[in-house]
Amino acid sequence: MGASAPAASSVGQVERQTARLFTDTDPLRLANGETLGPVDVAFETYGTLSEARDNAVFICHALTGDAHAAGFAPGATRPGWWDNLIGPGKPLDTDRVFVICANLLGGCQGTTGPSSINPATGKPYGLSFPLLTVADLVEVHRALVRHLGITTLLAALGGSLGGMQVLQWGLTYPDELANAVVIAASSRLTAQNIAFSAVARRAIMDDPDFAGGDYATEGLNPDAGLAIARMMAHITYLSEDALTEKFGRQPHQASSAPGFGIDFAVESYLDHQGQVFTERFDALSYLYLSRVMDYFDPFAAADALDAVTADPVTWLVMSFDTDWRFGTEHSRRIARRLELAAQPVTFREIASPWGHDSFLLVVPDYHATITAFFNRALAEVQR
């Protein structure tokens, strides 16, 4: 990975599209009863929609992802964040499937979010933006699918918060998905998961430049707090062994005398992660989307499994053995609940040293499992 020329199997150059899916007169109705409009959605597509419109795969991205999953933006030398999975001959083979990826509602990469302009005031929403749920994110995805003239998806697929969207989608609208791939996700965050996100949010909101959420209006940016949030979260995305293998106790090359700056290589790495994150991500989106995860608990409702029991989806649930953010116990719980609803579920724990981040990396067993799942899914469509 890293900066390199487009690979032979790349989807090539891609361009971000935008669609206004809801308006102020025909707004999005949120799960909490509020309405939101307009809602613009940024998305990309890769591959070709079949004449039968039966080969569409929707990618749901994670907390800090965006619509640019594969290929190269104009002039870019680094491909999209899931380029190792999407392209000709890759597990999501764009010679066979039509892939859609959209920036989430509440995001900051082209889709309406808390730092978008509120037409009613002419200023960014800030903390007046409504609280969201995973169900709301899915409603916007569904509107985009309809907008593209598609009735049923071959599959939805996502990791972490992306997998949570796939799970919600499949449970609520099983008639719209033939297959669902839920990777390194959770159906219910633990107290520890919530605790880490709470500290991250605290770091953002306690930054004086957060300005009560009105930083954009005031020409500020809570970069220090957002960087701290990212640095801490980043520790939870990697296994302890991965950090040890990458950095161990190596000194930072630029370090001279010991002090309270960047003395160790791992400190330099985290500092860099925090810094580049502030250049691409928005503090309010971090608050809103992390809170969406805290509240997600789709199996809590008494009728949670009714729709999907009547109309099964074929599920693939995957975890990574060194993931300590959403470890195997989270995925196993999802698989068990689905089995209670008589769903066809394949559950796989993949051995990988890289922790939660594994879902973004080339782990051969992981990619082979997705390849096999889609070979089967496509064969069923073509039957």
Q: Which of 16, 53, 188, 367 binds a copy of itself (CB under 8 A)?
A: 188
Amino acid at 344: P
Identify whether 323 is a catalytic site residue: yes
Q: Which of 118, 247, 307, 348 binds a copy of itself (CB under 8 A)?
A: 247
Q: What is the CA radius of gyration of the chain?
A: 20
Q: Which is nearer to a copy of itself, 59 or 132 (CB)?
A: 132
Please state whether the peptide bond connecting residue 38 to the residue before it is cis, i.e. omega within 30 degrees of 0.
yes
Instruction: Tell me if 211 contacts a copy of itself by CB under 8 A.
Output: no
Instruction: Give SS3 for 283.
Output: helix
Residue 150 structure tokens: 């598609």
What are the angstrom distances between the C-alpha of 202 and each of 40, 207, 223, 282? 29, 8, 13, 15
Instruction: Tell me if 235 contacts a copy of itself by CB under 8 A.
Output: yes
In whole angstroms, how close is the CB of 371 to a copy of itself at the nearest point?
33
Residue 235 structure tokens: 């520790």
Residue among 191, 197, 212 nearest 288 (CA): 197
Q: Which is nearer to a copy of itself, 49 or 243 (CB)?
A: 243
85 near 367, Cβ under 8 Å?
Answer: yes
In the set 10, 285, 356, 358, the catalytic residue is 356
* Helical ranges in the chain per DSSP H: 134-147, 161-172, 191-206, 223-237, 240-246, 265-280, 283-295, 306-310, 328-340, 364-382
In the set 136, 207, 223, 323, the catalytic residue is 323
Q: Which of 270, 313, 317, 341 binds a copy of itself (CB under 8 A)?
A: 270
Instruction: Tell me if 381 contacts a copy of itself by CB under 8 A.
Output: no
Instruction: Tell me if 206 contacts a copy of itself by CB under 8 A.
Output: yes
Residue among 295, 309, 377, 366 nearest 337 (CA): 309
Q: Which is nearer to a copy of itself, 149 or 259 (CB)?
A: 259
63-87: b or e for each residue (b if 16 or more CB lie within 10 Å)? bbbbbbbbbbeeeeeebbbbbbbbb
Instruction: Tell me if 134 contacts a copy of itself by CB under 8 A.
Output: no
Q: Which of 102, 166, 287, 308 binds a copy of itself (CB under 8 A)?
A: 287
Q: Which of 208, 218, 276, 342 binds a copy of itself (CB under 8 A)?
A: 208
Q: Which is nearer to a copy of itself, 7 or 194 (CB)?
A: 194
Q: Which is nearer to a copy of itself, 49 or 198 (CB)?
A: 198
Query: Interface residues for a copy of itself in 81-120 (CB under 8 A)?
Result: none
Q: Which of 60, 154, 227, 318 binds a copy of itself (CB under 8 A)?
A: 227
In the set 10, 115, 116, 160, the catalytic residue is 160
Please, which residues have CB within 8 angstroms of residue 76's CB and are 6 or more apart in sequence? none
Compute the half-sphere exposure of residue 330: CA atoms within 13 Å on the CB side of its CA: 31
What are the angstrom distances between the C-alpha of 285 and each of 111, 306, 307, 333, 360? 11, 32, 31, 28, 21
10 Å Cβ neighbour count for 26?
Answer: 12
Q: Which of 218, 240, 339, 380 binds a copy of itself (CB under 8 A)?
A: 240
In whole angstroms, how close is the CB of 297 to a copy of itself at the nearest point?
7
Instruction: Tell me if 294 contacts a copy of itself by CB under 8 A.
Output: yes
Please, which residues have CB within 8 angstroms of residue 128's CB and are 6 or more apart in sequence? 118
Q: Which of 217, 244, 275, 382 binds a copy of itself (CB under 8 A)?
A: 244
What are the angstrom distances between the C-alpha of 26 and each of 37, 132, 164? 7, 18, 27
In whole angstroms, how close is the CB of 231 to a copy of itself at the nearest point?
5
Identify whether 356 is a catalytic site residue: yes
Identify whether 187 is a catalytic site residue: no
10 Å Cβ neighbour count for 120?
Answer: 9
Instruction: Tell me if 248 contacts a copy of itself by CB under 8 A.
Output: yes
Instruction: Tell me if 183 contacts a copy of itself by CB under 8 A.
Output: no
Q: How many residues bind a copy of itself (CB under 8 A)?
A: 49
Q: Which active-site residues does the annotation give?
A: 160, 323, 356
> Applying CB under 8 A, which residues contact a copy of itself?
127, 131, 188-192, 194-196, 198-199, 201-203, 205-208, 224-225, 227-228, 231-232, 235, 238, 240, 243-244, 246-249, 258-260, 263-267, 270, 274, 287, 291, 294-295, 297
